[in-house]
Chains A and B, each alone.
Chain A
Amino acid sequence: MNGDVLIKVIDLKKHYLGGKVKALDGINVEIQTGEVVVIIGPSGSVKSTLLRSLNLLEIPTGGSIIFEGVDICDPKQNINLHRQKMGMVFQHFNLFANMNIIDNMTIAPRKRLKKSKDEATEKAMELLKRVGLADRANDYPSQLSGGQKQRIAIVRALCMEPDVMLFDEPTSALDPEMVGEVLDVMKSLAKSGTTMIVVTHEMGFAKEVGNRVIFMDGGKIIEEGTPQEIFENPQSDRLKSFLAKVL
């Protein structure tokens, strides 16, 4: 962490039905370079919507998101260029079913970053080795287990050399015995200094790896602080009752 603000979210709003449903209602948060921020909260507390707003997979209805100094909510901004720098990992992996693993990993660097095939493949193979899946390069996603798919999804995003990685419940769709292998990859990523924003129900991960924990409920940030502050000294009743349920 070097204290540079990478993402600054200002009064972010996501309303539905012309304002009748206020899913996100005035979120303010700052993410610093190198920080691992974990977002926790009960189901339906609008965590995913917040995370997906950061790379505009959800279009906010108000407020702004300053990413590397520019307001990416400005319609004049080319969002594709900003998304290239924000890797995203989904609950359901979303590997491209029509491509094998190596193509999954190299297509975006080739088409978006204009890397040569050799260059992109080299980088992809290096990352595959790092997660122990180099021998699966020519397999199709349907041939892999959930844990393998998610490790691939992580390195696929890393192939773009993003400045921040967004994770939306990356282990929630996995069989319990596969959760560990994915968390291990994420831990080593955190250790290497990658900026990460992680929505998860894995409280162990939040405690161990998180620099900061954000607790959301009802579309608002209720509390935020270090893992210690959040887990050992919760202030609000809502956080207390949430922790009582999940710990």
Chain B
Amino acid sequence: MNDFFASVVDKFTRCFIAKSYWKMILQGFRDSLIITFFSIILGLLIGVILATIRTSYDKNEESLKIKGGIGYWSLKILNSLCKAYIAVIRGVPVVVQLLIWYFIILATQKNSIIVAVAAFGVNSGAYVAEIFRGGIMSVDVGQFEAGRSLGFNYVQTMIHIIIPQAFKTVLPTLLNEFIAVLKETSIAGYVGITDLTRAGAIIRAQTFEAFMPLIAVAIIYLVTVIVLTALFTRIERRLRNSER
């Protein structure tokens, strides 16, 4: 028993304490969080705008057709572009997207973190767009008409009335997407970033010790997801309470 305990301590020391490997884990975790955070922000931004374009086309197609003109055609083209974007993102594996960003689109960008944020953010944007589109469609059309009847323009109605309500209904689905982004960032090692996963892999390669670093990395992801979930549950409850 003592032997076992001693060997665990020894392994732990070799994997984390000696050569200050724990710092690498910590820095990797920090970079994973940074990439995740900014990717989520970028994804939300892209997603909300895309969802707004898509739904505004679906909702106003008929009336815009009657009016005709540039408004109708520009919205029609924008809508097609959004659809194409979503189709491309859905159809190409994230790793491949990441490599395309790194070696082609942002080949001159030295900061790999920025490349990763672009890749994961643009990828997430497509999924957030579809999530939000569902949320917007689920808001009663009467809410929209009431907004317009008071003189709000389309964008104001969306910002003040529709999107806040859509946001609340999609919150649980959105959390899933955020968790997916966090876990997706574990492929950032492909473009030379020492993220959490990569840090674990490096320690494993250098110490020939698989269990300690990989389980440590797994636990850190797990705890992060648990904390994120708890945070969202609280926000959800707060939002729901505000209506009762």
Contacts and interface: CB of A to CB of B under 8 A. Distances in A.
Interface of A: 55, 57, 59, 61, 75, 80-81, 83-84, 86-88, 90, 92-98, 107-108, 111-112, 140, 142-143, 153, 156-157, 160
A146 B44 CA distance: 36
17 contacts: A59-B62, A80-B148, A80-B153, A83-B148, A83-B150, A83-B151, A84-B151, A88-B146, A92-B142, A93-B142, A94-B146, A96-B160, A112-B150, A140-B242, A140-B243, A143-B244, A160-B151
Given A61-B66, A111-B160, A140-B243, A90 B152 contact: no
Given A75-B69, A97-B165, A142-B244, A57 B148 contact: yes
Interface in B181-215: none
Contacts of A93: 142
A91 to B, nearest CB: 9
B145 interface: yes
Interface string B126-156: 0000000000000010110111111111001
A96 B161 contact: yes
B145 A57 contact: yes
Nearest to B161: A96
Interface string B56-94: 000000110011010000000000000000000000000
Contacts of B146: 88, 90, 94-96, 153
Contacts of B172: none
Contacts of B143: 94, 96-97
Contacts of A140: 242-244
B150 A90 contact: no
Contacts of A83: 148-151
- Which are the 10 A-B pairs with shortest beta-carbon distances? A84-B151, A94-B146, A108-B150, A88-B149, A94-B142, A59-B63, A98-B164, A112-B151, A83-B151, A140-B243
Contacts of B160: 96, 107, 111
Contacts of A59: 62-63, 66-67
A105 to B, nearest CB: 10
Interface in B148-176: 148-153, 156, 160-161, 164-165, 168
A111 B161 CA distance: 13
Given A90-B145, A140-B244, A108 B151 contact: yes
Nearest to A85: B151
Nearest to B69: A75
A108 B153 CA distance: 11
A107 B153 CA distance: 13
A97 B149 contact: no
Nearest to A91: B142
A97 B161 CA distance: 8
A142 B165 CA distance: 14
A87 B145 CA distance: 12
Contacts of A98: 161, 164-165, 168, 243
Given A61-B66, A97-B143, A86 B149 contact: yes
Contacts of B164: 98
B217 to A, nearest CB: 40
Given A98-B168, A140-B242, A142-B243, 8 more contacts: A59-B66, A83-B151, A93-B142, A98-B164, A108-B150, A140-B243, A142-B244, A157-B149
Nearest to A111: B156
A177 to B, nearest CB: 23
B150 to A, nearest CB: 4
Nearest to A95: B146
A217 to B, nearest CB: 25
